[in-house]
């Protein structure tokens, strides 16, 4: 079976996660796909295929004869889909792409424009799987799952393929940042891994942002507005003033490559209380620290101006740049880039402007770079993946296995 055939099956499962949920996994519907994947792993002959009570699927591909002494590696992908768009009733369309814009939905007037998504140019001549414009596609990350499953099937059935032990892990709830919260590291009996959760063919990522979340709470004083002179402290206005104290150009809209940012992600409030929720990001841990200090300094300014009780700030670490850990395993990056080169694909190594499950796994003892799945425009109705790129990504995984055998 080819990867895209599996993919079309997997996206028929609605596996959207839910950040408001307190259960694990956050939505029970993810378990339906998890059960299916466990059964499929059993059917293709993987060993110890299990689904645990937290919704994680694990399985092992034993080493091919002669490679039993090699350390092996893990392949990891996530089952849930993003929250920005519906993840149910996906109606994929397969088109032979000849260039230009793609009309996703004539009736609703939804078009994927080449001018907005110039990467499309690279897919001319390929068969693209696109949405009908009303949902996301789910290539993030079901393309990764389909490629791992297809690579696994080939490694298990073709005895000429050399490979070390491979542990397969499918996780829930990555999109809401809980993807490795309940992962059972004792089941991952290999020292390193790859997450298959990247974008276009050739992408190989081993550096991520360092990330913190900062909650800023402003306490106001509410008084009848007609009689408020000298008395009212409007939390909304103070909150806006607070935001203006931060570097105004260091925001996602104005930054790229290795530039970090302050991102105001949520702003709620009344005159009495306002809450600002920020995401701080930087590839450089020292610079992230400086951003945190900048936010503290701005809070001190507000305190001096309006009183000690006017503002509270709390900073939480989210994840760290996995480059710190992955750089200790140059053999992983070498295997992946050699595997790509052997297929005529140039490895495109870029720092991720985000995090992956790998950024946390790398600090839990499983250094984990991220590798391409062929998917484009994740979290969007314009998401697409080509059948041909899914085949290539599958082949990359098989060749990485050979390099590490
Ligand atoms: Zn993803």
CATH number at residue 192: 3.40.630.10
- For 285, the 3-state DSSP assignment is helix
Q: Which two tokens stand for residue 25?
A: 């996994």
**Quick one: pLDDT at residue 356?**
76
Q: Are residues 140 and 269 in the same domain?
A: no
Please check whether residues 160 and 126 belong to one and the same domain. yes
For residue 132, what pLDDT is reported?
98
Ligand 1 centre to CA of 220 (Å) is 40
Ligand 1 midpoint to CA 109 (Å): 28
Same domain as 61, residue 27: yes
> What distance in Å separates the CA atoms of residue 341 and residue 7, rounded to the nearest whole number?
25
Annotated catalytic residues are: 80, 174
Q: How far apart are CA 145 and CA 80, in angstroms?
A: 11
Q: Which structure tokens are listed for 273?
A: 């209380």
Residue 127 shares a structural domain with residue 247: no
The CATH number for 227's domain is 3.30.70.360
Choosing from 301, 319, 337, the residue where a domain stops is 319
pLDDT tens per residue across all 405 residues of the chain: 999 999 999 999 999 999 999 999 999 999 999 999 999 999 999 999 999 999 999 999 999 999 999 999 999 999 999 999 999 999 999 999 999 999 999 999 999 999 999 999 999 999 999 999 999 999 999 999 999 999 999 999 999 999 999 999 999 999 998 999 999 999 999 999 999 999 999 999 999 999 999 999 999 999 999 999 999 999 999 999 999 999 999 999 999 999 999 999 999 999 999 999 999 999 999 999 999 999 999 999 999 999 999 999 999 998 899 999 999 999 999 999 999 999 999 999 989 898 878 888 999 999 999 999 999 999 999 999 999 999 999 999 999 999 999
- DSSP annotation of 306 reads H
- Residue corresponding to tokens 């306002």: 274
pTM: 0.86
Q: Cα of 140 to ligand 1 centre, how many Å? A: 5
d(CA 31, CA 25): 8
Write the secondary structure of 198-219 as one string of H (helix), E (strand) and C (coil): ECCCCEEECCCCEEEEEEEEEE
N-terminal to C-terminal alpha carbon distance within the chain? 24
Tracing tokens 């945190």 back to the chain, one arrives at 292
Task: For residues 295 and 44, give the distance between their C-alpha atoms in angstroms, rounded to a whole number.
Answer: 53
Q: Do residues 130 and 195 share a domain?
A: yes
Going by C-alpha positions, the residue among 285, 287, 281 that lies closest to residue 265 is 281
How many domains in the chain?
A: 2
Same domain, 127 and 17: yes
Last residue within a domain, chosen from 286, 303, 319: 319
| Ligand 1 center to 81 CA (angstroms) | 8
Looking at the fold, whether 148 and 221 belong to one and the same domain comes out as no
The DSSP output letter for 63 is P
| Same domain membership, residue 397 and residue 309 | no
Contact 128, 103 (CB under 8 A): no
Question: What interhelical angle do 29-43 and 139-157 show, nearest 10?
Answer: 20
Residues 142 and 224 in one domain: no
Same domain, 175 and 305: no
User: Residue 88 C-alpha to ligand 1 middle, in angstroms?
Assistant: 17
Shared-domain flag, residues 312 and 347: no
Both structure tokens of 12 = 């028929």
- From 252, 287, 319, give the residue that closes a domain: 319
Distance between CA atoms of residues 77 and 174, nearest Å: 9
* DSSP-assigned letter for residue 361: H
311 and 330 housed in the same domain: no
Q: In angstroms, what is the span from residue 189 Cα to ligand 1's centroid? A: 24
In the beta sheet, which residues pair with residue 102?
Answer: 112
- Domain of 253? 210-319
Task: Report CA(197)–ligand 1 centroid distance (Å).
Answer: 5
- CA–centroid distance, 402 to ligand 1, in Å, is 25
Pairing status of strand 127-130 against strand 93-96: antiparallel
Whole-number Å distance, alpha carbon 174 to ligand 1 midpoint, is: 7
């Amino acid at each position: 079976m080819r990867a895209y055939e599996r993919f079309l099956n997997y996206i028929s499962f609605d596996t959207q996660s839910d950040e408001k949920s307190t259960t694990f996994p956050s939505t029970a519907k993810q378990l339906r796909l998890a059960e299916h994947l466990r059964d499929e792993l059993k059917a293709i002959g993987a060993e110890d295929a299990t689904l645990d009570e937290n919704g994680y699927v694990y399985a092992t591909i034993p080493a091919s004869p002669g490679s039993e002494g090699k350390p092996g590696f893990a392949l990891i992908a996530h089952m849930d889909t993003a929250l920005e768009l519906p993840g149910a009733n996906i109606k994929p369309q397969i088109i032979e792409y000849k260039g230009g814009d793609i009309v996703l939905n004539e009736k609703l007037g939804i078009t994927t424009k080449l001018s907005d998504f110039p990467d499309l140019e690279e897919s001319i001549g390929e068969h693209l799987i696109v949405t009908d414009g009303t949902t996301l596609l789910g290539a993030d990350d079901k393309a990764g799952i389909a490629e791992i499953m297809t690579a696994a099937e080939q490694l298990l059935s073709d005895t000429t393929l050399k490979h070390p032990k491979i542990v397969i892990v499918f996780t829930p709830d990555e999109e809401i940042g809980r993807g490795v919260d309940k992962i059972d590291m004792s089941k991952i009996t290999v020292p390193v891994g790859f997450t298959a959760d990247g974008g276009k063919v050739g992408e190989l990522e081993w550096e991520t942002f360092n990330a913190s979340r900062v909650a800023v709470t402003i306490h106001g004083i509410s008084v009848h507005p007609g009689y408020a002179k000298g008395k009212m402290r409007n939390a909304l206005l103070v909150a806006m003033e607070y935001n203006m104290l931060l570097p105004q150009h260091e925001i996602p809209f104005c930054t790229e490559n290795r530039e970090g940012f302050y991102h105001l992600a949520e702003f709620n409030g009344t005159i009495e209380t306002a809450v600002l929720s920020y995401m701080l990001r930087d590839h450089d841990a020292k610079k992230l620290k400086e951003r945190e200090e900048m936010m503290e300094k701005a809070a001190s300014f507000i305190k001096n101006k309006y009183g000690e009780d006017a503002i509270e700030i709390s900073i939480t670490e989210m994840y760290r740049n996995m480059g710190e850990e992955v750089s200790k395993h140059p053999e992983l990056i070498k295997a992946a880039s050699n595997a790509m080169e052997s297929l005529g694909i140039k490895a495109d190594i870029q720092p991720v402007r985000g995090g992956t499950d790998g950024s946390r796994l790398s600090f839990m003892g499983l250094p984990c770079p991220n590798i391409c799945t062929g998917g484009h425009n994740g979290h969007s109705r314009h998401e697409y993946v080509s059948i041909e790129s899914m085949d290539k990504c599958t082949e990359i995984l098989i060749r990485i296995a050979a390099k590490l055998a």
